[in-house]
């Protein structure tokens, strides 16, 4: 963890976990609100009222807030957290959030349910959302739980549309050449693979 932008915070892991448990339910409710905002057919008066209430909540939350980036933080027990991350951030309603599991064989996988806020074609996952999730999962696969990597190139092959609903992502390192790590990954619906991806990840020279 020598990344110059990572912030060390001297908070015990038990407290990090507790704070996460406090904030996660709020973010989950905001995730529901994002979807309700898309689907609602209530009256204009109700929409205006809802907006005023949301604005009031925003003002209260902003009474005390972190400035600058949400960031990636870690403590002395090597627990790290990136609550604001757009793909895995527990506190970021843009993120599902994806919960990535490292398998014993070195691969990684994640399962999630993609709702209406990830829609592209009617009833289907936006192709860009599939790319976004795969990018992150592949970065985790490349890092092999210890080294820092940056995305070099990323190629997606769309076999067919991915319906909204449950999806499974899998990724693993295919091979390595010096500071280049070649990763392959897929996203699948219950009927099989819908998008294949391969990417080249780079270990920055300053991190080796």
CA 86 to centroid of chain Cα atoms:
5
Measured CA angle at 97 (ends 12, 30), to 5 deg:
95
What residues contact 72, with CB distance under 8 A and at least 6 apart?
3, 5, 6, 7, 80, 81, 82, 85
Binding mask 21-50 for a copy of itself (x = CB under 8 A): -xx-xxx-xx-xxx-xxxxxxx-x-xxxxx
User: Is 192 a residue that touches a copy of itself (CB under 8 A)?
Assistant: no
Nearest to 113 by CA among 121, 105, 101, 125: 125
Which of 9, 13, 14, 57 touches a copy of itself by CB under 8 A?
57
DSSP letter at 117 equals: G
User: Is 60 a residue that touches a copy of itself (CB under 8 A)?
Assistant: yes
Minimum CB separation from a copy of itself for residue 125, in Å?
8
Minimum CB separation from a copy of itself for residue 164, in Å?
7
User: Based on CB atoms, which residue is closest to a copy of itself, 32 or 77?
Assistant: 32
Minimum CB separation from a copy of itself for residue 203, in Å?
14
User: Is 104 a residue that touches a copy of itself (CB under 8 A)?
Assistant: no
- Which of positions 149-178 make contact with a copy of itself (CB under 8 A)? 150-158, 161, 164
User: Based on CB atoms, which residue is closest to a copy of itself, 50 or 184?
Assistant: 50
Nearest to 203 by CA among 155, 154, 157, 142: 142
CA atoms 145, 146, 151, 152: torsion sign? negative
Which of 74, 100, 117, 169 touches a copy of itself by CB under 8 A?
117
Minimum CB separation from a copy of itself for residue 49, in Å?
8
User: Is 91 a residue that touches a copy of itself (CB under 8 A)?
Assistant: yes
Euclidean distance between CA atoms 164 and 172, whole angstroms: 24
């Amino acid at each position: 963890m020598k990344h110059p932008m990572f912030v060390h915070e001297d908070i015990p892991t038990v407290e990090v976990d507790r704070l996460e448990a406090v904030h996660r339910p709020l973010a989950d409710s905001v995730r529901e609100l994002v979807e309700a905002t898309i689907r609602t057919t209530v009256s204009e008066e109700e929409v205006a009222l809802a907006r005023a209430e949301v604005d009031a909540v925003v003002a209260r939350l902003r009474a005390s807030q972190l400035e600058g980036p949400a960031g990636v933080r870690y403590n002395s027990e090597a627990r790290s957290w990136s609550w604001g991350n757009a793909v895995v951030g527990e506190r970021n309603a843009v993120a599902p959030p994806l919960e990535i599991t490292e398998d014993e064989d070195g691969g990684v996988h994640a399962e999630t349910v993609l709702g209406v806020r990830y829609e592209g074609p009617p009833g289907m996952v936006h192709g860009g959302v599939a790319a976004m999730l795969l990018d992150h999962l592949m970065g985790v696969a490349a890092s092999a739980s210890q080294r820092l990597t940056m995305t070099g190139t990323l190629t997606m092959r769309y076999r067919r549309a991915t319906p909204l609903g449950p999806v499974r992502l899998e990724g693993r390192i295919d091979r390595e050449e010096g500071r280049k790590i070649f990763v392959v990954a897929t996203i699948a619906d219950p009927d099989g693979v819908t998008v294949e991806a391969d990417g080249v990840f780079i270990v920055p020279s300053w991190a080796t």
